A and B are shown apart, each in its own frame.
Chain A
Amino acid sequence: MSAPATRERAATTRTRRDPAEVPAGLPRWAYLPAVVGGLFVVLPLIAMGTRVDWSNYGALVTSESARAALVLSLQTAVASTLLCLVLGIPMALVLARGRFPGQGLLRSLVLVPLVLPPVVGGVALLSTFGRRGLLGESMEVLGLQIAFSTTAVVLAQSFVALPFLVVSLEGALRTAGERYDVVAASLGASPTTVLRRVTLPLVWPGLLSGTVLAFARALGEFGATITFAGSLQGVTRTLPLEVYLQRETDPDAAVALSLLLVAVAVVVIAATHRRGAGGAVR
């Protein structure tokens, strides 16, 4: 249905409330498991909050190693998210709209990093980009060493985060359908213009949630990073690795840093969600 039609129909409702706010017969029993589920997620976070040594919180999260880890985490997570967008949007388009043999198999393969234990993902990356890996050996000849570099962190994060973006966007593309694309093309728009002006704006909420998921996954990445990239302050030791290391000597610092990681994730998701909702309404 077109945008004007939506507005007309909305105008006929007396209160002009957002349709999502009208209680549309949600079964009452659903609240009980929903609340239990909510507690299951929130309670551990609260419990962790009670373990925090609040009087020293500032000192714990502003230590040199903590700041280095936070900055590195944000930089690498943003870089990984960008890499995921550059590679993931075309992947989702090809999977949702392309027609070629082996498409189903390819779709399953793209999802593999979702089920692969991250440590195994790290081993797989090592066998590809490591110094004795499939591609690493020739890169070593060219003087490129990925092992133990920040690039390795970005690769590890992108590897585990990419499926989140591809799956979200592909689902959105399938739901949106191709009708508007066909209309735009029949009116003379080139495929690139259709993609830019019609297809992507239509799947904007899906793209956004996929991006947020990918960013969050990259921010929390641990196993593949520690296996593939190593752990050195300011170079490869991201916040999750720092948390794991601090746990060894200073559990208070580990808890404080974990909370910082949660706070960063919540802020990013909340900010994007609000902007995303606005974008969807427009």
Chain B
Amino acid sequence: MTTALPRRTTRATAALAVAASAAVVLTACSTGTSATPDDEPDTTLTVFAAASLTEAFDEIAADFEADHPDVDVALSLAGSSSLVAQIQQGAPADVVATADTATMDTLVADDLVGTPQTFATNTLEIAVPPDNPADVTTLQDLTDPDVNVVVCAPEVPCGAATTAVVDHAGLTLQPVSEEQSVTDVLGKVTAGEADAGLVYVTDVARAGDRVEGIAFDESDAAVNTYPIATVDRTGQNTDQADLAQQFVDAVLSPGGQAVLADLGFAAP
């Protein structure tokens, strides 16, 4: 039928390909191990903190570095449950600060942290777009079916707080969306998609003039507490453990508390 295709593949080319790929792998390995930084501070303190603490901990960490010139604070910011999962999997954290006690309690139960201390609290507030299109003034107003209300899903901490507050007030909300995180709720309000959302006081403070916050008395039913603790790492030297404790003390110090208060957090 047809002429056979010339077999262009030879053992030589095959060998060449293997050699080439081996070379690539070897180079990749050597560059990976030889990357030793020279100009960095002697000690790195790794702090795991809940995403809602981003601004506060950035500032506290900068102050801490100014007081300890040979220390570099590496902040790892994520949702509290992600942080807990990472520490359970052996992530190298020295200090952990979560956005609720439930997530911290799982670390305590696993003997992975020292005794947690509460360093801040936070309550819910109604966030509305600056022009308040639905004229929301109270929590009661959110039950109006014509108001597009967005809340956190009950599965996440801010949603659990929402459920507690709304139940305590004896109300029933019919949200148009139950978001994954409080930042998603805030995003829907700042975009003007939602008429109102339930977020934390600190989120309203952080959003500046893009949203207007409306405080309500029923928010006392769910006061969110932020615990901080040192992480017990195997093979950790005492200097590092001392440094971790110093960072915890810095957060609890008047200076650290002032930073938190500026950002809307209430004192423990």
Which residues of B, 62-100, contact A by the 8 Å Cβ criterion?
Answer: 79, 81, 85
**In the complex, what residues of A have CB within 8 A of residue B7's CB?**
25
Which residues of A, 223-279, contact B by the 8 Å Cβ criterion?
Answer: 226-227, 229-233, 236-237, 241, 244-246, 248-249, 251
Given contacts A131-B193, A148-B193, contact A29 B180 (CB under 8 A): no
| Contacting pair A130 B191 (CB below 8 A) | yes
**In the complex, what residues of B have CB within 8 A of residue A236's CB?**
177
How many residues on chain B are close to A (CB under 8 Å)? 31
| Contacting pair A13 B1 (CB below 8 A) | yes
If over half of B's interface residues share one DSSP class (helix, strand or loop), that class is named, otherwise mixed; here it is loop
| Contacting pair A232 B5 (CB below 8 A) | no
| Contacting pair A28 B179 (CB below 8 A) | no
> How far is A9 from B1 in the complex, measured between Cα atoms in Å?
8
> How far is A237 from B153 in the complex, measured between Cα atoms in Å?
11
> How far is A244 from B184 in the complex, measured between Cα atoms in Å?
13
| Contacting pair A231 B176 (CB below 8 A) | no
Which residues of A, 164-196, contact B by the 8 Å Cβ criterion?
Answer: none
Q: Is A78's beta carbon under 8 Å from chain B?
A: no
Instruction: Bin the interface of chain A by size.
Output: 20 to 34
Interface string of B1-15 (1 = CB under 8 A from A): 100011111000110
> How far is A227 from B7 in the complex, measured between Cα atoms in Å?
54
Which residues of B, 135-151, contact A by the 8 Å Cβ criterion?
Answer: 148, 150
| B192 partner, pick from A27, A131, A237, A245, beta carbons under 8 A | A131
Q: Is B175's beta carbon under 8 Å from chain A?
A: yes
**In the complex, what residues of A have CB within 8 A of residue B155's CB?**
245-246, 248-249
| Contacting pair B153 A33 (CB below 8 A) | no
Q: Is A142's beta carbon under 8 Å from chain B?
A: no
Which residues in A have some Cβ–Cβ distance to B below 8 Å? 9, 12-13, 24-25, 27-29, 32-33, 126, 130-132, 147-148, 226-227, 229-233, 236-237, 241, 244-246, 248-249, 251
A-B contact pairs, 17 of them (CB 8 A): A29-B9, A29-B14, A29-B18, A32-B18, A131-B193, A147-B193, A148-B193, A226-B179, A230-B150, A230-B188, A232-B177, A237-B178, A241-B180, A244-B180, A248-B155, A249-B81, A249-B155
